Amino acid sequence: MNHTDFFHSAGLGMATGLALIVAIGAQNAFVLRQGIRGEHIVPVVAVCALSDAVLIAAGVLGTGALITAAPAAVVVLRYVGAAFLVTYGIMAARRALRPQSLTSEGPVNDAGAKRGLAAAVTTVLALTWLNPHVYLDIALLGSIASAQGAQLQWWFGAGAMLGSIVWFATLGFGARFLRGFFARPLSWRFLDGGISVTMVALGTGLVLGA
């Protein structure tokens, strides 16, 4: 075994991790919105990356096998997650009806209020940990990691963790380049409308077992 094997496993882990997280979903939509608003980007990105690191490590350690062996737990998470997603979707729909704008002082809505740090962190934690698909991803990552062998599985996991950090940092901090576009209330109407549809569709899909 040589250095090429280590880098190959790490690269495979990064590619696999990105393939699982780079998609239009509840967590990504929230991070994008926070990035555009310029609110609590560092803690939100850090929570997403740290959560993924914990989940990936759990998958490498074999927790994914335990999750697949306990389907009842996944069912409970499915309905709890669905309720949360639909609720958040309804909230996004209400924001779309009362679009905000970005000013030189920052993001404001009709009430001029900003989301608090605790609320932002709580929301992103819920969007991450109440998504049952995350636990299915753990099982998948765990199975691929175990196939790398004992000496390479943690290199695979490290690559997946790095991919997560790169993605969320890019999404959160890169969103600022869209701030000019979102200086108009109509742009926020489209964004929140899209988030609402995404959240409700994801929640409905969970209930239906999609």
- In this predicted structure, the answer to whether residue 93 has a pLDDT above a threshold of 80 is yes
Radius of gyration over alpha carbons of the chain, in Å? 18
Range with the largest mean pLDDT of 53-62, 75-84, 180-189: 53-62
- In this predicted structure, the answer to whether residue 64 has a pLDDT above a threshold of 70 is no
Task: Enter the pTM of the model.
Answer: 0.71
Per-residue CA distances from 92 to 1, 95, 162 (Å): 51, 5, 31
Residue among 132, 154, 129, 130 nearest 141 (CA): 154
Provide the mean pLDDT of the chain.
Answer: 78
Q: Where are the alpha helices (DSSP H) in 62-152?
A: 63-68, 71-97, 117-129, 132-147
Average pLDDT over residues 27-32: 88
Residue-wise pLDDT tens digits, 105-138: 344 444 334 568 999 999 999 988 988 778 777 7
